[in-house]
Amino acid sequence: MNLASLWCLDPSVTYLNHGSFGACPRAVLDVQAALRLEMEQEPVDFLVKTLPARLNTARGSLAAFLGAAPEDLVFVSNATAGVNAVMRSLAFEPGDELLLTNHTYAACRKTVDFVTARTGARVVVANLPFPCRHEEEIVAALLQCVSPRTRLALLDHVTSPTALVLPIARLVGELQALGIDTLVDGAHAPGMVPLALSELGAAYYTGNAHKWLCAPKGAAFLHVRRDRQAPLHPTVISHGYSAGFHAEFDWTGTFDPTPWLCIPASLQYMAGLLPGGWPQIMAANRALALKARALLLESLIIAAPCPESMIGSMAAIPLPAAAAGSPAAELDSKGLHDWFRERCVETWLYPDPLPLLRVSAQLYNDFGQFEKLARLLDEALHER
């Protein structure tokens, strides 16, 4: 089967950037279209009478996939909204320290900056090495930044710029032993790595369903440990205020709930694409990402920037300096992205602290697409 034909992606574009926004299969979009039509045919029935039960059904399906209890799970529009809900609900004081890393997603870093500017709390940044040799370097770099004033740690499960899969269970456990709560930004994790959120025990965990789970845009969740739910509120206060955890987040005003309602369809549809279901999907995507990384490293004649154990369905490659007179020599990251896009390749580049090329592997990708990227990368970096 040509799996790429199951998505709406432009076949003229070599799309190697699933990690940025995901991509939703046609069949799941059809489910969403049917739900939207039903909503518009009788909005009151849909949004008032039937929506609560539908949300609970969707919540139950997602909770089972995440290894979580439905009672601890609410829907949000994206992982950044989940981070905002937590950061803007908690009370911080001058002198409190909020611990994050130099790999923290930029939007979430700005959320922390917003909160600290209004509370007097202080940001402490742990510098995680990249390239890194093993996870011990990650753990050591983080723990050495902990102090008696550390109130909360914001950690990416899978980092956006470097695509590292952090040893999140170990980090959560180490911090919890020190009495420090963790907010995990798991934007990329669901559908990329196995999850057991109840077992993980993080105070807060937020993730997207529109990325590797391939649900429609706007499908995400926030998981909050039972003993941390009472002070939590969505960033928009509406009719559900003080009516309970689910009530507050399930309704923040008139909106389109169909991305959330499509999560069960996406989970089921994707699982049916390979005989082994989700475990095989995760393994296949990881294998392709590793194969693509090996190809690019060999082409660039550089060493692997991290061990294979820290790779999921994405990989980041440090780019060597471009040769004088080459196309890339006069281009910044945006310009180099556009150079690839003009050649019908969609990929992702990060400028700081060193130029990185990040590639993603999803079922609609094949190795030949990465071979095309390698050829173009050689052309971009070397004088002709």
User: Cα–Cα distance between 143 and 145 in angstroms, integer?
Assistant: 5
Residue 187: inside a domain, yes or no? yes
Q: What share of the chain is helix, strand, coil (3-state, %, to 5)?
A: 45, 15, 40
Residue 238: inside a domain, yes or no? yes
Residue 295: inside a domain, yes or no? yes
Same structural domain for residues 239 and 319?
A: no
Q: What does the block give as tokens for 381?
A: 């970096």
Same structural domain for residues 115 and 246?
A: yes
Reduced to 3 states (helix: H, G, I; strand: E, B; else coil), residue 76 is strand
Contacts of 84 (CB under 8 A, 6+ apart): 111, 235
Instruction: Name the domain boundary from 268, 291, 318.
Output: 268
Q: Which long-range contacts (CB under 8 A, 24 or more apart) does 110-117 make?
A: 111/80, 111/83, 111/84, 111/87, 112/87, 112/154, 114/87, 115/87, 115/88, 116/92
- Looking at residue 353, what is its pLDDT? 62
- Looking at residue 383, what is its pLDDT? 67
β-strands 204-208, 345-346: how paired?
Answer: unpaired
Same structural domain for residues 228 and 320?
A: no
Q: What does the block give as tokens for 140?
A: 């050591």
Phi, psi of 215 (to 5 degrees): -80, 170
Same structural domain for residues 136 and 54?
A: yes
Same structural domain for residues 8 and 49?
A: no
DSSP bridge partners of 125 = 100
Same structural domain for residues 216 and 316?
A: no
Residue 346: inside a domain, yes or no? yes
Amino acid at 334: K
Instruction: Name the domain boundary from 220, 247, 268.
Output: 268
Q: How far does Cα 360 stand from its chain's mean position?
A: 12
Same structural domain for residues 120 and 177?
A: yes
User: Cα–Cα distance between 66 and 63 in angstroms, integer?
Assistant: 5
User: Cα–Cα distance between 188 and 285 in angstroms, integer?
Assistant: 13
Residue 21: inside a domain, yes or no? no
Same structural domain for residues 262 and 328?
A: no
**Structural domain total, the chain:** 2
Q: How many residues does the chain have?
A: 384
Same structural domain for residues 105 and 180?
A: yes
Instruction: Determine if the peptide bond prior to 167 is cis (ω within 30°).
Output: no
* Residue 305: its H or E element: none
- Looking at residue 92, what is its pLDDT? 97
Average pLDDT per run of 10 along the chain, which is 384 residues long? 93 98 98 98 98 98 98 98 98 97 96 97 97 96 98 98 97 98 98 98 98 98 97 96 95 97 98 98 98 97 96 96 90 92 95 86 98 96 77
Residue 22: inside a domain, yes or no? no
Phi, psi of 192 (to 5 degrees): -105, -45
Instruction: Name the domain boundary from 268, 291, 307.
Output: 268
Residue 48: inside a domain, yes or no? yes
CATH code, domain with 243: 3.40.640.10
Same structural domain for residues 293 and 260?
A: no
Q: Note the helical H segments in the chain.
A: 18-21, 26-41, 43-44, 51-66, 79-87, 106-119, 135-143, 168-177, 197-200, 245-250, 258-261, 263-271, 277-300, 333-342, 367-381
pTM comes to 0.97
- Looking at residue 351, what is its pLDDT? 83
CATH code, domain with 286: 3.90.1150.10
Amino acid at 98: L
Q: What is each CA distance from 237 to 74, 215, 252, in whole angstroms?
A: 15, 26, 6
Residue 244: inside a domain, yes or no? yes
Domain span including residue 118 = 27-268
Nearest residue to 166 via CA among 206, 219, 197, 129: 129
315 in the Ramachandran plot: left (φ > 0), alpha (ψ -120 to 50) or beta? beta
Residue with tokens 């998505």: 7
